[in-house]
Amino acid sequence: MDYLPLFFKLTDAPCLVVGGGEVALRKVDTLRRAGASVTVISPALCPALTELAEGGHIHWVAGEFAAYVSELPGFRLVISATDRADVNQAVYRAAVALNLPVNVVDCPELCTFIFPAIIDRSPVVAAVSSGGVSPVLARLLRGRIEALIPPGFGELARLAERYRSQVKAALTDPSRRRRFWESALQGTPAELVLSGRSGEAEAVLERDLAAAVSGSSAAAGMVYLVGAGPGDPDLLTVRALRLIQEADVVVYDRLVSPEVMALVRKDAERIYAGKQRSEHTLPQDQINRLLADLAKSGRRVVRLKGGDPFIFGRGGEEIETLMAEGIVFQVVPGITAASGCAAYAGIPLTHRDYAQSCTFVTGHLKDGTVIDLDWRRLAVPQQTIVIYMGLQGLEAICDSLQAHGCAPDLPAALIQQGTTRHQVVVTGTLASLPGKVAERNIKAPTLVIIGQVVRLHERLAWFHTDGA
Ligand code: SAH
């Protein structure tokens, strides 16, 4: 270790920044975030620093550093952010002579301390340093850590702070106390805080504490109804990824891609809930029951569904049971097939010239016919129609639209396994698409897009696969 990472308490401490430009401003901001009382020495200030000085947020000494060297002993920490090597050198020498910590920006050899890249979830703070070797690398790493530490993490620490002494008094055995906190800070109370529901988190934490004291039952479980997106695992939300990796049990559908399932924790239980067309592996009411029972046994359950759980995903039905049984749950949206396929096929769903609205419909067949759709409304021009589950009924759909006034040459596209490396886009018209699709060996899932926007595919297609 070339540098020892420490967290420096600077509340109200007098700190000096020499220099008045943008670089100085960044350092002033960092120091102010730590509560320091900042003095800036510089003949001139950039507009933002001028504003801070005028607002009384910093103290500005207008002049050259050389004239104020004698003031240095009054400061706890010194930063030099000027573009003049002689001034930077002078600040460094003067500070070192007084044993004051000093940092000359972008000049590691003139630093007795360096700034890390900071991930601020106060009171939780993570700092990354490359030892001054590559600040860019440190910042890239910070980006990754930012994604790992959810924004509500500070609030979570506050919750722990609020209950610290109460838990200490209630659970006197240190190892039981540690287990309690480990479970609370990774379990339902934590997830509630992270989704902005601190009040409910407190209620659950108190219930879990009472249970831990009496040694009676397990901590409360929770169900996360999570959208897994259209297939490409990179299209998961940050929250979906975190929940998938923390889950004890994952109940998943056929539409969830193997690449997404590969992200599930190795020791988590996986339960396949099926949903093959006409071959439901588990009937819906049994899935609803299963989710409730798993949560009641104290487990963290992720119900993983293709796309978005609230778009043709029966997500509503599943949470109704949970709601009725008082089980805590959370819904995490995902990228729905329409958004994913449209983006990856280069077909904008709306366009100023071609479509001012977009309608998602199901083309699911019931007894051989497409379930009732308002064909007249769908046949109105200047809109895009997206059909989920429309492969079997494709011909009937195209015929009905024409029967209700759509031109036979209205552009239409079918996208097979959108966003994955098996993506295939077949384009045609209402008249030609069913025939073109029938000629190909198309595999589910497929999505149909109908409307003038399909014309744009030819120009905007950017995602190319071998269509295996
Ligand atoms: N909740 C899902 C939809 C479930 S219905 C969502 O929001 O996307 C299942 C239908 O979604 C499939 O029949 C198909 O029409 C569509 N679908 C899902 N993923 C798809 C994909 N990667 N490519 C094409 N269509 C897809």
What is the reported pTM? 0.78
pLDDT at res. 271: 95
- Distance (angstroms) between ligand 1 centre and the Cα of 379 equals 23
- Mutational test site, ligand 1, from 385, 388, 426, max ligand atoms within 8 Å of CB: 388
Q: Are 397 and 388 in contact (CB under 8 A)?
A: no
pLDDT exceeds cutoff 90 at 224? yes
Question: What are the pLDDT digits (tens) for 399-417?
Answer: 999 999 999 999 999 999 9
* Ligand 1 centroid to residue 394 C-alpha, Å: 15
Please report the pLDDT score of residue 276 as a whole number: 53
User: With 60 as the cut, is the pLDDT of residue 278 above it?
Assistant: no
Nearest CA, atom 18, ligand 1: 337
Q: Kindly state which CATH superfamily the domain 14-115 is placed in.
A: NAD(P)-binding Rossmann-like Domain (3.40.50.720)
- In terms of Cα–Cα distance, which of 280, 284, 266, 333 is closest to 306? 333
Cβ-based burial of 438 (10 A; exposed 0-12, middle 13-18, buried ≥19): exposed
Q: Report the catalytic residues.
A: 253, 275
CA of 194 to the centre of ligand 1 (A): 29
- In sequence order, the 6+-apart residues with CB closer than 8 A to the CB of 74 are 14
Q: Is-same-fold flag (14-115; 338-460)?
A: no
Arithmetic mean of pLDDT, 210-237: 88
* Distance (Å, whole) CA 358 – CA 457: 17
Instruction: Identify which of 410, 414, 416 has the alpha carbon closest to the alpha carbon of residue 451.
Output: 410
Q: Whose CA is nearest to atom 5 of ligand 1?
A: 312
Identify the CATH assignment for 222-335 out of 3.10.450.40, 3.40.1010.10, 3.90.25.10, 2.60.40.150.
3.40.1010.10
Helix (H), strand (E) at residue 53: helix 47-54
- Ligand 1 atom with least separation from CA of 415: 24
Q: What is the mean pLDDT of residues 284-308?
A: 93
Which residue's alpha carbon is at the smallest distance from atom 11 of ligand 1?
388
Q: Collapsing DSSP states into helix, strand and coil, what is residue 318?
A: helix
The pair phi, psi for residue 51, each rounded to 5°, is: -60, -45
Q: pLDDT by residue (tens digit) across 370-401?
A: 778 899 999 999 999 999 999 999 999 999 99
**What does the domain layout of the chain look like in residue ranges?**
14-115, 153-214, 222-335, 338-460
pLDDT in the model for residue 148: 83
How much is the pLDDT for 11? Answer: 97
Q: Residues enclosing ligand 1, CB less than 6 A?
A: 230-231, 255, 305-308, 311-313, 336-337, 341, 388-389, 415, 417-419, 445-447
Q: Which atom of ligand 1 is nearest to the CA of 423?
A: 23
CATH class of domain segment(s) 338-460 = alpha beta
Q: What pLDDT band is residue 366 in, cutting at 50, 70 and 90?
A: confident
Q: What is the pLDDT of residues 347-365, one digit of tens each?
A: 999 999 999 999 999 998 7
CA 308–ligand 1 middle distance (angstroms): 9
* Ligand 1 mean position, distance from CA 315 (Å): 14
Q: Does 135 sit behind a cis peptide bond, omega within 30 degrees of 0 on the bond before it?
A: no
Which region among 104-118, 140-154, 215-229 has the lowest average model confidence (pLDDT)? 215-229
Gap between the Cα atoms of 188 and 323, Å rounded? 15
**pLDDT over 80 (residue 17):** yes
Which residue's CA lies nearest to atom 16 of ligand 1?
A: 388
pLDDT at residue number 407 = 97
